[in-house]
């Protein structure tokens, strides 16, 4: 059975007070519409159609990678009108699933249940019991509990407004029936809109059973209309991820102060994550990793037994087993640390590899460098990799010792087991096993006196 998913996403979202179309606002750094798309993408034999309108160009260009039919709704004349625009995408035998682009946390299980309720003689509708149903269409039932219709808030009588079962807007129905009812929609109502919800009354008239189901939690079906709701759903989403991580064997010092804005593709166990850690992009984290407070990890691969101390920023980097990084370290793109490497405070590394057991413990900049194994780089070492136009590499071979406050002017190679005296400016290759230093000889001036005022 083929599923045609229609995601309604043409609305403006006036209450966001934003230049950005509402569905491009993000939860966990992913546009709202992308959440809905990613979930529905998991349904088998499913073709997705997105109805867009407000901010058309920006929506299309931002989400150009989605594999979906894009249908423009030039004027937003209501949810029914939006679905009408998709009639060419709907075949009679399809099961059509209607989703909203601004309802990001809907679960696959809830949707699968809904779809399972669709037959040629039944429509499936997702409803929700609400403490405060204000703003929602109300589900009107007869005394036996059978659905009669949905009435929109603005069209509801005082009695109907007391109903606390709300319409989520999410439904599924056979394509042939849907198209028949879409053709009959009018806009004679309080808002002058073509309401998709009017098809419920038509189904009842056609003796098509309306089968309702409910989500596990209300949060699943909450839409985003303003930034308060956006922040609520962000917290719900982050809490779900935190719960999931803890179930997988991760200790979170405070699940409420931890965010994943991306994914952890490979996750070890006995990871301990301190407060205010943010993980973005695609990452992998090995066993027994400790991540200190206020650390940002972006698109990185972290091996087993790694310790990252507080306030470190790690981006597009690979950290080998047993390495130690931070506090206050910055690993920039292209950093590859092999096993047991130590990177200390106020060290910045960019586009460089550091081999086994090397140490760069304090206040250094290492850029465009190849650092061998067992190397010790003293405090305040700087690779001068850039002449203002071009970048050059520094090679530091195994076992080298770089004295503190040294500048290595690239391109330059420091030989195996070479020692560089502190305070040197190294502009030429330094031979292996030797001490190289470029330092003005120290002198003391005998009998020198300080000037007096
Ligand atoms: C709709 C439902 C209401 C339900 C509520 C749940 C109707 C008539 N009412 O009301 O019963 O309780 O959702 O949140 O369906 N959209 C378009 N084109 C349009 C109009 C809307 O694409 O012309 C999209 C919006 O971008 C949004 C979704 O449809 O994603 C819902 O639209 P919205 O205006 O929020 O509907 P409500 O009036 O809240
Ligand atoms: Ca809404």
Which atom of ligand 1 is least distant from the CA of 196? 15
From the CB of 185, is ligand 1 less than 6 Å away? no
Query: Probe ligand 1: pick from 169, 199, 214, max atoms within 8 Å of CB?
Result: 169
**Cis peptide bond upstream of 434, omega within 30:** no
| Backbone angles phi and psi of 219, in degrees to 5 | -55, -30
CB of 50 closer than 8 Å to CB of 41: no
Which atom of ligand 1 is least distant from the CA of 223? 14
From the CB of 11, is ligand 1 less than 6 Å away? yes
Q: What is the CATH number of the domain that holds 50?
A: 3.90.550.10
In a domain, 447, yes or no: no
Q: Do 146 and 175 belong to one domain?
A: yes
**Which two tokens mark 44?**
């088998």
Mean pLDDT by 10 residues, the chain (453 residues): 96 93 97 98 98 96 97 97 98 98 98 98 98 96 97 98 98 98 98 98 98 98 97 98 98 98 97 98 98 98 98 98 98 98 98 98 98 98 96 98 98 98 97 96 95 94
Q: Do 215 and 239 belong to one domain?
A: no
pLDDT of residue 317: 99
The residue behind tokens 């920006």 is 58
Q: Do 207 and 235 belong to one domain?
A: no
Task: Find all residues with CB under 8 Å of 436, minimum gap 6, and list them.
Answer: 414, 418, 419, 420, 421, 424, 426, 430
Residue having the nearest C-alpha atom to atom 6 of ligand 1: 168
In a domain, 335, yes or no: yes
**Which two tokens mark 356?**
């086994």
In a domain, 125, yes or no: yes
From the CB of 21, is ligand 1 less than 6 Å away? no
Q: Which ligand is nearest to the CA of 134?
A: 1
Instruction: Please provide the size of the chain in residues.
Output: 453
From the CB of 78, is ligand 1 less than 6 Å away? yes
Q: What is the CATH number of the domain that holds 312?
A: 2.160.10.10
Q: Do 30 and 55 belong to one domain?
A: yes
Query: Probe ligand 1: pick from 5, 6, 11, max atoms within 8 Å of CB?
Result: 11
Q: Do 195 and 244 belong to one domain?
A: no
Q: Do 236 and 350 belong to one domain?
A: yes
CB of 29 closer than 8 Å to CB of 119: no
How many A from CA of 137 to the centre of ligand 1?
10
How many A from CA of 253 to the centre of ligand 2?
36
pLDDT of residue 367: 98
How many A from CA of 79 to the centre of ligand 1?
5
Q: Which ligand is nearest to the CA of 22?
A: 1
In a domain, 90, yes or no: yes
Task: Find all residues with CB under 8 Å of 443, minimum gap 6, and list them.
Answer: none
Q: Do 144 and 39 belong to one domain?
A: yes
| Backbone angles phi and psi of 66, in degrees to 5 | -70, 135
pLDDT of residue 12: 86
How many A from CA of 428 to the centre of ligand 1?
70
The secondary structure of the chain, three-state, reads CCEEEEEEECCCCHHHCCCCCHHHCEECCEEHHHHHHHHHHCCCCEEEEEEEECEHHHHHHHCCCCCCEEEECCCCCCHHHHHHCCHHHCCCCCEEEEEECCCCCCCHHHHHHHHHCCECCEEEEEEEECCCCCCCCEEEECCCCCEEEEECHHHCCHHHHCCCEEEEEEEEEEHHHHHHHHCCCCCCCCCCCCCHHHHHHHHHHCCCEEEEECCCCHHHHCCCCCHHHHHHHHHHHHHHHHHHHHHCCEEECCHHHEEEEEEEEEECCCEEECCCEEEEEEEEECCCCEECCCCEEECCEECCCCEECCCCEEECEEECCCCEECCCCEECCCEEECCCCEEEEEEEEECCEECCCCEEEEEEEEECEEECCCCEECCCCEEECECCCCECCEEECCCCEECCCCEEECCEEECCCCEECCCCEECCCECCCCEECCCCCCCCCCCCCCCCC
Q: 170, 188, 221: which is the final residue of a domain?
A: 221
Q: Using CA atoms, how far apart are residues 310 and 401, in angstroms rounded to an integer?
A: 27
How many A from CA of 203 to the centre of ligand 1?
20
| Backbone angles phi and psi of 424, in degrees to 5 | -90, 150
From the CB of 10, is ligand 1 less than 6 Å away? yes
pLDDT of residue 433: 98
Q: Which ligand is nearest to the CA of 156?
A: 1
From the CB of 85, is ligand 1 less than 6 Å away? no
Q: Which ligand is nearest to the CA of 7?
A: 1
Q: Do 280 and 143 belong to one domain?
A: no
Please state the domain count of the chain: 2
Q: Do 235 and 198 belong to one domain?
A: no
Q: Using CA atoms, how far apart are residues 128 and 150, in angstroms rounded to an integer?
A: 13
From the CB of 16, is ligand 1 less than 6 Å away? no
In a domain, 444, yes or no: no
In a domain, 325, yes or no: yes
**Residue from 54, 342, 362, 446 carrying the catalytic annotation:** 362
Domain that holds residue 77: 3-221
From the CB of 8, is ligand 1 less than 6 Å away? yes
How many A from CA of 22 to the centre of ligand 2?
11
How many A from CA of 386 to the centre of ligand 1?
55
Question: Torsion angle of alpha carbons 142, 143, 145, 146, nearest 10°?
Answer: -30
Q: Using CA atoms, how far apart are residues 177 and 440, in angstroms rounded to an integer?
A: 90
Which atom of ligand 1 is least distant from the CA of 103? 30
Q: Do 395 and 409 belong to one domain?
A: yes
Burial class (CB in 10 A: 0-12, 13-18, 19+), 375: buried
pLDDT of residue 1: 84
In a domain, 217, yes or no: yes
Task: Find all residues with CB under 8 Å of 94, minimum gap 6, and list them.
Answer: 2, 3, 4, 174, 175
Q: Do 15 and 160 belong to one domain?
A: yes
Pairing of strands 46-52, 3-9: parallel
From the CB of 166, is ligand 1 less than 6 Å away? yes
From the CB of 137, is ligand 1 less than 6 Å away? yes
Q: Do 186 and 243 belong to one domain?
A: no
Q: 179, 203, 221: which is the final residue of a domain?
A: 221
Q: 186, 204, 221: which is the final residue of a domain?
A: 221
How many A from CA of 51 to the centre of ligand 2?
15
Q: Using CA atoms, how far apart are residues 453 and 449, in angstroms rounded to an integer?
A: 13
**Which two tokens mark 155?**
């069209």
The residue behind tokens 């990252």 is 308
Establish whether 362 is a catalytic residue.
yes
From the CB of 357, is ligand 1 less than 6 Å away? no
Q: Which ligand is nearest to the CA of 229?
A: 2
In a domain, 450, yes or no: no
């Amino acid at each position: 059975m083929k599923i045609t998913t229609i995601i309604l996403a043409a609305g403006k979202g006036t209450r966001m007070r934003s230049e950005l179309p509402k569905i491009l606002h993000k939860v966990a750094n992913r546009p709202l519409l992308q959440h809905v798309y990613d979930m529905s993408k998991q349904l088998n034999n499913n073709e997705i159609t997105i109805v867009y309108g407000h901010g058309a160009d920006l929506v299309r260009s931002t989400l150009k990678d989605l594999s979906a039919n894009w249908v423009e709704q030039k004027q937003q004349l209501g949810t029914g009108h939006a679905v009408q625009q998709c009639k060419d995408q709907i075949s009679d035998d399809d099961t059509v699933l209607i989703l909203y682009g601004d309802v990001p946390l809907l679960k696959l299980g809830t949707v699968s249940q809904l779809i399972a309720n669709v037959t040629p003689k039944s429509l499936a509708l997702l409803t929700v019991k609400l403490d405060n149903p204000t703003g929602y269409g109300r589900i009107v039932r007869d005394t036996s509990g059978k659905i009669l219709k949905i009435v929109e808030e603005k069209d509801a009588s005082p009695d109907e407004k007391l109903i606390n079962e709300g319409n989520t807007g999410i439904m599924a129905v056979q394509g042939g029936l849907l198209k028949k009812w879409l053709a009959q929609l009018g806009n004679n109502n309080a808002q002058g809109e073509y309401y998709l919800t009017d098809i419920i009354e038509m189904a009842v008239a056609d003796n098509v059973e309306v089968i309702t189901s409910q989500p596990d939690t209300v949060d699943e079906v909450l839409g985003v209309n303003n930034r308060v709701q956006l922040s609520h759903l962000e917290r719900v989403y982050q809490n779900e991820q935190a719960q999931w991580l803890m179930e997988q064997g991760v200790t979170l010092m405070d699940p409420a102060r931890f965010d994943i804005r991306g994914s952890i593709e490979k996750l070890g166990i006995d990871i301990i994550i301190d407060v205010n850690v943010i993980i973005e992009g695609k990452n992998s984290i090995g066993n027994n990793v400790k991540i200190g407070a206020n650390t940002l990890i972006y698109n990185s691969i972290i091996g087993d037994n790694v310790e990252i101390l507080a306030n470190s920023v790690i981006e597009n980097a690979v950290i080998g087993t047993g390495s130690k990084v931070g506090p206050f370290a910055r690993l920039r793109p292209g950093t590859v640390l092999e096993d047991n490497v130590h990177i200390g405070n106020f060290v910045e590394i960019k586009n460089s590899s550091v081999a086994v057991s090397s140490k760069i413990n304090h206040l250094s900049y290492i850029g465009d460098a190849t650092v061998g194994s067992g190397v010790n780089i003293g405090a305040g070492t700087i690779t001068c990799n850039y002449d203002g136009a071009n970048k050059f590499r520094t090679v530091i071979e195994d076992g080298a010792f770089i004295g503190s406050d040294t500048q290595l002017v690239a391109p330059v190679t420091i030989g195996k087991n070479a020692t560089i005296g502190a305070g040197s400016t190294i502009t030429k290759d330094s031979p292996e096993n030797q001490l190289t230093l470029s330092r003005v000889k120290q002198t003391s001036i005998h009998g020198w006196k300080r000037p007096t005022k």
